[in-house]
């Protein structure tokens, strides 16, 4: 029987992977509340999932301003770097590879989560019809403050520092979160970017912030250890654009110049329908990118095997299946049943629903 390509090694840029199954970035809201640092439970969680060809960590804010939800980790302080170093050491000891997703939420935040209770920032002062979690309840995201052009270089510098900190923490690379209606995506889309300066108007201007961020982080890592996540057709966090095919075609052509490790696309609605709107063409977007193609959204064993075998994708990212199945790659290889996901324990809390899902071996042992 021929080898299933999904489970064969692959090299994404300079990152050598043992298989093509990727753990997608998954917000779990379990960072240490006092300093947003990873802790021992975080180490155990990622160590359990080191069988993935590549782990992409949960989105991690590049600065206090970049935070949008309670108890999400950062990568801007010494305590956070130290916490992540324990994670990367544990994953590497198990033979895994791990990159950190760099995040600034922009308008998807709330003053209670911001330093000194100030308003969140965005390209333009346009509120998103969205909600965030403030530590006690879900609250509406308010109207943000439009960034002054003079402030933008400081945010770019925060990305650069976060990339440096990711190196100190022992990661194998970074992923720039430019998807799902967060700050970079807000700049890219004409529904959230109404600026009339060099960061607004035509797509060449709206993509300027993405380009400056990429210049900064690639300057730290080199392109072959950097990936980017985009969600061209997703309406997550009230994302809207008048011509997403044209917008993201331009963005991908821009990214091509950095010789990146991979391009990570959310196919359809984030965590929802895979349908593409009229005028949208995912295959054309993938076709514009010269590097490795990573797809995400609703894949199962059969569709993932087919996507890689056909050559449509090089890598497949799984989200929720990795939450309830720490040994997901082993289960997929053996075509074994998957643990049921407990949706009540996705966000916040402790070990329950986080590190207590059994592996196949543990389930078999318990059944004896």
53 and 117 in contact (C-beta within 8 Å)? no
Do 61 and 76 touch, CB atoms closer than 8 A?
Answer: yes
Question: The tokens of 333 are what?
Answer: 């290889």
DSSP letter for 4, please. Answer: P
Per the annotation, the verdict on 299 as an active-site residue is no
Active-site pick, 45, 46, 69, 182: 182
Residue 92 host element (H or E)? helix 78-93
Residue 20's nearest CA partner among 322, 320, 339, 293 is 293
138-140 vs 131-133, strand pairing mode: antiparallel
Tokens of 97: 């590879």
**124-to-190, 291, 333 alpha-carbon distances in Å:** 10, 33, 47
Helix (H/G/I), strand (E/B), else coil: 48: helix
Q: Maximum Cα–Cα distance for the chain, whole Å? A: 68
Which residue from 28, 9, 11, 32 is spatially nearest to 19, judged by alpha carbons?
A: 9
Identify the H or E element spanning 3. Answer: none
Q: Would you say the C-alpha torsion 301, 304, 310, 314 has a positive or negative sign?
A: negative
Q: Which active-site residues does the annotation give?
A: 182
């Amino acid at each position: 029987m021929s080898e299933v390509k999904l489970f064969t090694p692959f090299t994404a840029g300079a990152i050598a992977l043992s298989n093509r199954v990727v753990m997608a970035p998954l917000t779990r809201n379990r960072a240490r509340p006092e300093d947003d640092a990873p802790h021992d439970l975080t180490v155990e969680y990622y160590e359990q999932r080191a069988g993935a060809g590549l782990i992409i960590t949960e989105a991690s804010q590049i600065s206090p301003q970049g935070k949008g939800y309670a108890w999400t980790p950062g990568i801007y302080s010494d305590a956070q770097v130290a916490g992540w170093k324990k994670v990367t050491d544990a994953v590497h000891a198990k033979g895994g590879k791990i990159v950190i997703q760099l995040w600034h939420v922009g308008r998807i935040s709330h003053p209670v989560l911001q330093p000194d209770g100030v308003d969140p920032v965005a390209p333009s002062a346009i509120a998103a019809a969205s909600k965030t979690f403030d530590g006690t309840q879900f609250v509406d995201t308010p109207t943000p403050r439009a960034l002054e052009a003079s402030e933008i270089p400081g945010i770019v510098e925060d990305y650069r520092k976060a990339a440096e900190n990711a190196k100190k923490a022992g990661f194998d690379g970074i992923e720039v979160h430019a998807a799902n209606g967060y700050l970079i995506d807000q700049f890219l889309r004409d529904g959230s970017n109404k600026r009339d300066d060099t960061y607004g108007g035509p797509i060449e201007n709206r993509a300027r912030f993405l380009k400056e961020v990429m210049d900064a982080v690639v300057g730290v890592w080199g392109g072959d250890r950097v990936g980017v996540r985009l969600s061209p057709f997703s309406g997550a966090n009230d994302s809207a654009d008048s011509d997403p095919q044209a917008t993201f075609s331009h963005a991908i052509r821009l990214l091509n110049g950095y010789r990146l490790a991979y391009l990570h696309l959310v196919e359809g609605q984030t965590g929802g329908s895979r349908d593409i709107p009229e005028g949208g063409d995912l295959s054309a977007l993938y076709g514009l990118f010269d590097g490795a193609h990573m797809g995400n959204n609703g894949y199962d064993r059969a569709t993932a095997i087919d996507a890689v075998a056909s050559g449509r994708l090089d890598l497949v990212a799984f989200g929720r299946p990795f939450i309830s199945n720490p040994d997901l790659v082993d289960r997929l290889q053996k075509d074994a049943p998957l643990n049921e996901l407990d949706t009540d324990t996705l966000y916040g809390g402790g070990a329950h629903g986080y590190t207590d899902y059994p592996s196949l071996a543990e389930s078999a042992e318990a059944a004896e």
